[in-house]
Structure 1
Amino acid sequence: SGAACYWSPYPGWTWIPSWFDSAEKSGACTYRCEKEFSHGRKTDDEGVGKPVFPTQSRRSSHDEIASEPKALTLTPSYSVVGHPAFKIYRFRLPHLFLPLLDHIVEGCANHANSLPTGWMTHLYSLTKQDVALRDVPGMYEASRPIMHYIKRAIERMYEVETVRFDRNQPHVLKYSAEDKSKHTGVELHHDKCDVTANIMLSKSNAYSGVRMEYGEFILHPGNLVHGGADIVSGERYLMILFAHTR
């Protein structure tokens, strides 16, 4: 059965910010996760050889994370990246969530090692090595506190009432300069969603290249042209969420 981890955020914890409504701070909750656990132009995913851009591949439905407890809210610390008109924001996850990141990477790596093609799951064609957490036993459940946290960030920063995630979200993306795939980055593109979240799952000493710190995440509009900067050594893992808002 293995070890279990528990997260119990209660009202009054210092990382719950004053700029959230008092109603959102009420109530306590416990999360439990078991250890076993272009200017690139989009194309339709019809036809052979055409690239499939997020979030076209394997999309079957949307999930709304609406039933999570209200106690998990944002840390007030965030920064604006670039010109404010771009609406790019950098956050850091609360410290109590960091063990979940290592757990998710380990679970996805073990799952990929059990597959004939490894990380090459063909979830998307633009990114070459990615795993949907719903395909890995226990990993979607482990990610739910993080998903809810990011959902609240999107609601606040983009002033929306509803946030929905694609069926394949979240997914973990692997860049590697060490294995045969040589998938070290991703070309310029834009995402077929309203908001994209990129969460850094790797510590900064695990790779060489453009840095985000472990536990940080970036929010940006999906239609913003962006790319994944190449790493030159090591491995980098990201967790990605494509969100649809209204």
Structure 2
Amino acid sequence: MKSLTAYQEVKQKITADLVRGRFPIGQALPAEKDLSQEFDVSIGTLRKAVDELVAEGIVIRRQGKGTFQAEHDSKRQLYYFFHVVRHDADKKITPRVELASLNSALASREEAMKLDIKEGTPVWRIVNRLYLEEQCVMIDQITLDKKRFKNLTRTIFENRQGSIYQLYQVKYGQSVARTRERLRAGLAGKQFASWLELKPQSPVITIRRVAFNLQDEPIEWRISTVNTTQHEYFNELVV
């Protein structure tokens, strides 16, 4: 096994501290000088580790205030994880999300594989409808391991403050650090077609996404069905 460099070890230690809740949301991490002394590394090594965490969106620097764990507020959700726009504009419009159902179930083979759990493990299945300018344009089917998200209820989900990822982070200590997506063409079933104002079996795009936490563990499996009549999937890579 390839050994870690000094800055990679520091990065792992900071990430572990974030997972344990050592640095609560809204509270700045210790100064770089203090962290470098704690980890017994140079300022340059410490800074390289923090730079990578910033680049990965795990922490953010605020001028004159310090370094903080990134929060899944509505702005971050919109610009990091939301990818549907109108055909005629790149402008990202703030979405409205409406819960259709939240039920307890047992994980199917696919759900178990995506969440790295055993088939038949208790899970939550959530169906969400996403609206842009009062038009339902996307339907999310979300699966969560009940062990990670204990005592989740419809009331908790609907009355959350902020985005779904913010709920995961604040109430359950599960911060989404990255996602992995695959796109497929598909056909809308009767119920989804009704919600999306389409004829049954109309063409749609499905986005199949796994979300990973700070420890790179899969915590959410989501299949999004998109009406592409007036909207399209959007992604932008900045290098």
TM-score by length of 2: 0.26
Higher strand share: 2
The structure whose Rg is larger is: 2
The structure whose RCO (Cα within 8 Å, separation 6+) is larger is: 1
